[in-house]
């Protein structure tokens, strides 16, 4: 039964618990056993919550007593180690924060618990959440469960690896440029970056640059993402960017009364070179939506050719991130890993360039506003390549060499603009590695991409595919 439980999604586990077919104790223990079995090789988990089984026993007692149960009652969840968890270590991927134990939960953790979820463990991340891979001086490197020689991405790579490997059914990650969607794509799971501010960032570090940071759910099914989003979204009275209630949705809903208009992009110049398997997967997803009644056509978004979102993101974040990081690392320079050092080595942005970057970010928002006058959604790659080797400095794609930072070119525009975007698996590479596609909708229109993702998942050729970990 344990092997069956670790492959169920959170929605199914909650149903099994609610109907008393399994107990929360069985579910939590199954996932703890899975962590013991596979994490020594994957290294996704940095801390197991000491009271997880105690919480499971309390959840079991509530079921037996006939108490009112939340939608995630008794279901374990994990959280990236930048997200505060009361009484459980939150060390931010750095020896500087070794032993740090928060007194309060982040809003997202508190909301998961309020829904009945049980905090199982914290997951690995790069130092200070600032890199495209998951490695640090405190807890080391996380490996991709599909191929241990490949990265699960970053910065929520520990979370994505844990969920993909069956160590957790659902979890929380954060995203400033790629960090939920990229890891989800590279490990074959689903990840959502909702409209900026939809889900409060309270209790998550770093907070700068605040206008670009997001927090979102990661899971193996779209229905789990939709459930988590419904629990996590909405103001908390502490995050000033979190203002819109969940009920405020401008999307098509779950039962659209007209064909959904979808544009797709795979070869527009801003993307740079894209691996052939990735391009084929995006086109297949577009054709699948067309076959299910959507109005689908190739799209062109001029502003993406005119402005490099990744470049402007770096220009803006450098001037805000460096002072914040230096404040925390003062006196601990010997404990800085290469990723934060890379932030420090980034040249300062002149005031002229900073103002221009701010104006470019506004122009990007205008450009997408114009696009969404004609379309309900956009589909494009998440990353230009499937999971790559650890510590790769560059890739060769279609004969062209590009920096490893190129992996963020398709995700950065939606962090800069705050548009909702999600990744879901829809194919595999010739090497058997998962490939995700990215769905984007207008601001506050999450129901559109959740609906489209549900459609795609129903016909996905990789819906039930999972990594083979029998050898480890």
| Residues involved in catalysis | 80, 155, 179
C-alpha pair distances (Å), 125 with each of 156, 248, 256, 363, 422: 6, 33, 38, 32, 20
Say if residues 180 and 218 touch (Cβ distance below 8 Å).
Answer: yes
Q: Which two tokens stand for residue 340?
A: 């934060």
- Backbone φ/ψ region at 329: left (φ over 0), alpha (ψ -120 to 50), beta: alpha
Residue with token string 């107990």? 23
Main-chain phi, psi angles of 114, to 5 degrees: -60, -30
Three-state helix/strand/coil letters over the chain: CHHHHCCCCHHHHHHHHHCCCCCHHHHHHHHHHHHHHHHHHHCCEEEECCCHHHHHHHHHHHHHCCCCCCCCCCCEEEEECCECECCECCCCCCHHHCCCCCCCCCHHHHHHHHCCCEEEEEECCCHHHCCCCCCCCCCCCCCECCECCECCCCCCHHHHHHHHCCCCCEEEEEECCCCCHHHHHHHCCEEEECCCCCCCCCCECCCCCCCCCEEEEEECCHHHHHHHHHHHCCCCCCCCCCCCCCCCCCCCCCCCCCCCEEEECCCCHHHCCCCHHHHHHHHHHHHHHHHCCCEEEECCCHHHHHCCHHHHHHHHHHHHHHHHHHHHHCCCHHHCCHHHHHHHHCCCCCHHHHHHHHHHHHHHHHHHHHHCCCCCEEEEECCCCCCCECCCCEEEECCEEEEHHHHHCCCHHHHHCCCCEEEEEEEECCCCCEEEEEEECCCCCHHHHHHHHHHHHHHCCCCCCCCCCCCC
């Amino acid at each position: 039964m344990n092997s069956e439980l670790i492959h169920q999604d959170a929605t199914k586990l909650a149903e099994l618990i609610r109907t008393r077919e399994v107990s929360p104790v069985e579910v939590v223990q199954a996932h703890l056993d899975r962590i013991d079995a596979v994490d020594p090789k994957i290294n996704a988990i940095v801390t197991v919550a000491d009271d997880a089984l105690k919480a499971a026993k309390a959840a079991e007692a509530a079921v037996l007593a006939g108490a009112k149960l939340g939608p995630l009652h008794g279901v374990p969840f994990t959280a990236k180690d930048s997200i505060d968890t009361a009484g459980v270590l939150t060390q931010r991927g750095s020896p500087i924060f070794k032993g740090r134990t928060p007194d309060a939960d982040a809003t997202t953790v508190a909301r998961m618990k309020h829904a009945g979820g049980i905090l199982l463990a914290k997951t690995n991340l790069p130092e200070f959440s600032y890199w495209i891979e998951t490695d640090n001086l405190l807890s080391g490197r996380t490996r991709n469960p599909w191929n241990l020689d490949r990265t699960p991405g970053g910065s929520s790579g520990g979370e994505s690896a844990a969920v993909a490997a069956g160590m957790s059914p659902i979890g929380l990650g954060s995203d400033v440029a790629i960090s939920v969607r990229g890891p989800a794509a590279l490990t074959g799971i689903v990840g959502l970056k909702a409209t900026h501010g939809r889900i409060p960032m309270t209790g998550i570090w770093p907070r700068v640059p605040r206008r670009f940071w997001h927090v979102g759910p990661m899971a193996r099914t779209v229905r789990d993402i939709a459930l988590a989003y419904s629990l996590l979204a909405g103001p908390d009275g502490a995050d000033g960017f979190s203002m819109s209630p969940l009920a405020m949705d401008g999307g098509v809903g779950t039962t659209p009364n007209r064909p959904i208009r979808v544009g797709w992009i795979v070869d527009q110049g801003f993307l740079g070179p894209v691996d052939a398997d990735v391009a084929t997967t995006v086109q297949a997803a577009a054709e699948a939506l067309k076959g299910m009644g959507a109005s689908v056509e190739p799209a062109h978004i001029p502003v993406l050719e005119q402005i490099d979102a990744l470049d402007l993101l770096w220009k803006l974040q450098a001037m805000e991130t460096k002072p914040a990081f230096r404040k925390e690392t003062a006196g601990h320079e010997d404990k800085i890993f290469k990723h934060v050092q890379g932030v420090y080595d980034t040249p300062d942005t002149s005031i002229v360039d900073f103002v221009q970057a701010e104006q470019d970010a506004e122009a990007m928002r205008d450009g997408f506003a114009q696009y969404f006058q004609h379309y309900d959604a956009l589909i494009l790659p998440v990353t230009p390549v499937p999971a790559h080797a650890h510590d790769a400095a560059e890739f060769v794609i279609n004969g062209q060499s590009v920096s490893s930072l190129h992996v963020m070119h398709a995700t950065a525009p939606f962090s800069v603009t705050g548009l909702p975007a999600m990744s879901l698996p829809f194919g595999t590479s010739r090497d058997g590695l998962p490939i995700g596609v990215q769905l984007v909708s207008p601001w506050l229109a999450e129901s559109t991409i959740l609906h489209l993702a549900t459609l795609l998942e129903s016909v996905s050729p990789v819906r039930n595919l999972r990594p083979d970990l029998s050898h480890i």
